[in-house]
Chain A
Amino acid sequence: MDVWAQLLQGFQVALTMQNLMWCLVGCMLGTAVGVLPGVGPAVTVALLLPITTKVDASGALIMFAGIYYGAMYGGSTTSILLNTPGESATIVTAMEGNMMAKRGRAGPALATSAIGSFVAGSIATVGLTFLSPLVVELGLKFGPPEYFALMVLAFTTVSAVLGESTLRGLASLFVGLAIGLVGIDNQTGQARFAFGVPQLLDGIEVVTVAVGLFAVGETLYAAAKLHAVKEELESWSGSVWMKLDDWKRSFGPWIRGTLIGFPFGTIPAGGAEIPTFLSYAMEKKLSKHPEEFGKGAIEGVAGPEAANNASSTGTMVPLLTLGLPTSATAAILLSAFQQYGLQPGPLLFESNSALVWGLIASFYVGNVMLLVLNLPLVGLWVKLLAIPKPQLYAGILVFATMGVYGMRQSPFDVFLLYVIGLVGFLMRRYGFPAAPVIVGMILGPLAEEQMRRSLSISQGSWSIFVTHGISAFLLGLTVLVLLLPFVMRHLKKRKAVAG
């Protein structure tokens, strides 16, 4: 079957009344949690995982995906109107967009980011549609050693490339791998690190870890450390009108931002921060008004906003075609698939083609919904920013504890949530990224499975990972990714000495 037929089949799934409704719910929830500080898409999807027992797979996954890319739309609204960035991927928008708002140009800033997100999201979905079948074909040729090598590469890029410190990223990853070890080994039935505690035999739930690190850790940090920081909400007339000049200046950055963001999302490097910075730097270089950058240039909002949306859609390529999550939310989406007994990867495109293509088709629909939600209706979401901080964080914690306690009605989970929250607090305080923990705990057990499968093929010989060409290449690439920063630093030093 060719792509068009499959996409058509996907639209038949996505356009049923029920799935349209799930898509709308997802987009609205996503926009809301994107706008609200203190809660993000990872926590929201994690808290909603219990609905997988009530809702069919396509409905639930369409909604979860809507939350994921919807949060990208909503996040920019907060960054523009509030002087504190909501998510790391919107730091650049927070600089430039907030300056525009300060100069009374909040309307065009909101408009260019919403339309730019739509343009980028739609083009990236087209990319997802046509790239996925190609990657699937490649993935079908992979055996256990290739998958293992691919996962090792994904681990490394997710933790080492992103963030300010390779070392702290890797430390976070290893902690995540350690969390993933707890529970019954699914190949031998051996209990590991459960210390005879029955609640630990099932393993530590991703819900508890995600909610603990992101919601509880963030709340403790905001309460204890940020009480002196005052937030200012910029005034805004309520109009989102863009002048002809704004359109002209936005169009190029939208397209260029998309072209930078999408590839970054698809290679297993995840994260939307780097492409936003690249796009910002590029627009500054190309602009006829470089002096406006830092004071509120519309290009500096349009480009990065397109880049972060394109990259978040791009992360769907490795997730769906190879089962590789490259961000915290993607990792939780993977565990949503697992709740249904599904494993994303090339085989899913054959065994559950209607589901996968329905999900992909829902991205086209969702982006149209989000454009409406975030352009004419943006005023409604801005009202969420008026919720005072004490009641906002208190409400977030009521939801957080409910989700964790409600899983199996065990107070043990609440105390575990608090302990993980303390860890999250320390990670925030000392600059450890949280995403590698989530990716490590979910992808870790899968990597272990592939590793042990490979070794049973080779009858215990570790050389299988280097005698297989693709696997050797991927592992070599991993070493390169790890060593590159050191080599670069060394070269810089030599250059400085020579100069």
Chain B
Amino acid sequence: MRGPPGQVAIGAGIAALGIGILAGAFFLPAGGGYAQVGPGVVPRIVGVLLIVAGGFLLREALTGGFRGVDEEAERHLPMNWVYFAWASGGIIAYGLLVEHLGFIVASTILFVMVARSFESKKWLLNVIVGFVLASAIFAIFNYGLGLMLPLGLFQKLVS
């Protein structure tokens, strides 16, 4: 009995999440108060529910795969890891850079990298469009709605 590895991993992962929550719940008081139901009771229930759901998913995965998921059709949509990495890298770069380079520069980098993940190689155009969009959002949300987006590199220019 072998199932699609991704599906098996998901079933096991959900069950593992349930085990983790159940384990964590035992550090929380279950009694106390008038209700005699403390903050630990619902986590115990949710933990058990996740373990049961994970178990059933594992069973489906091992006995012919998840019902209604067509692994054959999925093979016609091959996973492109390069594009996946461009989009992922864009978001992670944003998280790493936004405080140092500021909102506008980090957003421009994100824009260019995500556009690249959709096969766009018009680098200059994407830099310009990304920069203009980010500047417009910065102006509207910082001055209009009072969000505090970081200026970063532009801090010196302003002050």
Q: Which residues of A contact B (CB under 8 A)?
A: 50-51, 53-54, 164-165, 167-168, 170-171, 174-175, 177-178, 181, 185, 187-188, 190, 192-193, 216, 219-220, 222-229, 388-391, 393-395, 397-399, 401-402, 405-406, 409, 411, 414-415, 417-418, 421, 426, 429-431, 448, 451-453, 455-456, 459-460
Q: Which residue of A lies closest to B68 (CB)?
A: A164
Q: Is the CB of A225 within 8 A of B137?
A: no
A390→B57 contact, CB < 8 A: no
- Beta-carbon contact of A193 and B53 below 8 Å: no
CB of B14 closer than 8 Å to a CB of A: yes
The bracket for how many chain B residues form the interface is 35 or more
User: Whole-angstrom distance from the CB of B115 to the nearest CB of chain A?
Assistant: 4
- Tell me the B42-88 residues at the A interface (CB within 8 Å): 42-43, 46, 49-50, 53-54, 56-57, 60, 66-69, 74, 77-81, 83-84, 86-88
The answer to whether B91 and A414 have CB atoms under 8 Å apart is yes
With known contacts A181-B21, A418-B91, A390–B126 Cβ distance under 8 A: yes
Contacts of B115 in A (CB 8 A): 390-391, 393-394
Is A192 within 8 A of B43, CB to CB? Answer: yes
Taking a contact as CB atoms under 8 Å apart, the answer to whether B87 and A406 are in contact is no
Q: Are A431 and B145 in contact (CB under 8 A)?
A: no
Which one, B14, B53, B133, B145, contacts A51 given CB within 8 A?
A: B145
Residues in A whose Cβ lies below 8 Å from that of B39: 185, 187-188, 190, 192
- Chain B contact residues, CB within 8 Å of chain A: 6-7, 10, 14, 17-18, 21, 24, 28-29, 32-39, 41-43, 46, 49-50, 53-54, 56-57, 60, 66-69, 74, 77-81, 83-84, 86-88, 90-92, 94-96, 98-99, 103, 107, 110-112, 114-120, 126, 129-130, 133-134, 137, 141, 145-150
**Cα(A216)–Cα(B145), bound, Å:** 24
Q: Select one of B29, B50, B83 contacting A174, CB under 8 A.
A: B50
Are B86's CB and A402's CB within 8 A?
A: no
Tell me, in angstroms, the Cα distance from A224 to B114 when the chains sit together: 11
Cα separation A53 to B141 with both chains bound (whole Å): 13
Query: In the complex, how many residue pairs between chain A and chain B have their CB atoms under 8 Å apart?
Result: 209
- Known contacts being A175-B50, A390-B126, is A397 close to B110, with CB within 8 Å? yes
Answer whether A216 and B50 are a contact pair too, CB < 8 Å, given A390-B120, A394-B111, A395-B111: no
A sample of 24 cross-chain residue pairs with beta-carbon separation below 8 angstroms, ordered by A number, consists of A165-B66, A165-B68, A167-B57, A171-B57, A178-B46, A187-B33, A193-B43, A216-B91, A219-B114, A223-B118, A228-B78, A389-B118, A390-B117, A390-B118, A394-B126, A398-B134, A398-B137, A418-B91, A430-B6, A448-B42, A451-B42, A455-B35, A459-B34, A460-B37
Interface centre among A50, A227, A397 (most CB of B within 10 A): A397
Q: Which residues of chain B are near A455, meaning CB under 8 Å?
A: 35-37
User: Which residue of chain B is the closest to A406 with respect to CB atoms?
Assistant: B147
Residue contact A165 to B43, C-beta cutoff 8 Å: no
Is the pair B126, A190 in contact by a Cβ cutoff of 8 Å?
no
Q: Are A227 and B118 in contact (CB under 8 A)?
A: yes
Q: How far is the CA of A336 from the CA of B137 in the complex (A)?
A: 22
Q: Which 10 A-B pairs have the closest CB atoms?
A: A390-B120, A460-B36, A414-B95, A456-B35, A390-B118, A224-B84, A390-B115, A185-B39, A164-B68, A394-B114
**Chain A nearest Cβ from B102, distance in angstroms:** 12
The minimal Cβ–Cβ distance linking B141 to chain A, given in whole angstroms, is: 7
User: Whole-angstrom distance between the alpha carbons of A411 and B110 in the complex?
Assistant: 14
CB distance from A23 to the nearest CB of B (A): 19
Q: Which residue of B lies closest to A225 (CB)?
A: B77
Q: Are A225 and B57 in contact (CB under 8 A)?
A: no
Task: Report B-chain residues with C-beta under 8 Å of the C-beta of A229.
Answer: 77
- Who on chain B is nearest to A216 by CB? B91
Do the beta carbons of B68 and A411 come within 8 Å of each other?
A: no
Tell whether A397 pairs with B114 under 8 Å between CB atoms, given A177-B49, A430-B7. Answer: yes
Looking at the assembled complex, report how far the CB atom of B120 sits from the nearest CB atom of chain A, in whole angstroms. Answer: 3
Which of A167, A224, A452 interacts with B87 by CB under 8 Å? Answer: A224
Q: How distant is B89 from chain A, measured CB to nearest CB, in Å? A: 10
* Smallest CB separation, B27 vs chain A (Å): 9
Q: Which of B34, B68, B94 contacts A401 (CB 8 A)?
A: B94
User: Which of B34, B99, B126, B129 is the one whose CB lies under 8 Å from A411?
Assistant: B99
> Measured between C-beta atoms, what is the minimum distance from B76 to chain A in Å?
8
Q: In whole angstroms, what is the CA distance A448 to B40 when docked?
A: 11
Shortest distance from the beta carbon of A448 to any chain B beta carbon, whole Å: 5
Contact, CB under 8 Å: A456 / B126: no
Complexed CA–CA distance, A29 and B69 (Å)? 34
Q: Which residues of A contact B68 (CB under 8 A)?
A: 164-165, 431
**Contact, CB under 8 Å: A222 / B57:** no
For residue A56, give the distance in angstroms from its CB to the closest CB of chain B: 14
A388, B120: Cβ atoms under 8 Å?
Answer: yes
Give the most central of B17, B98, B117: most A CB within 10 Å.
B117
Closest to A212 in B: B91
Name the residue of chain B whose CB is nearest to the CB of A418.
B91
Contact A406 B49 (CB under 8 A): no
Contacts A406-B147, A414-B94 known; A220 to B84 CB distance under 8 Å? yes
B117 — which chain A residues lie within 8 A by C-beta? 223-224, 390, 393
Instruction: Choose from B77, B87, B147 the contact partner of A228 (Cβ within 8 Å).
Output: B77
Whether B35 lies near A460 (C-beta < 8 A) is yes
- In the complex, the answer to whether B66 meets A430 with C-beta atoms within 8 Å is yes
* CB pair A390 B37 closer than 8 Å: no
Q: Which residues of A contact B94 (CB under 8 A)?
A: 401, 405, 414
- Residues on A with C-beta less than 8 A from B10 are 426, 430
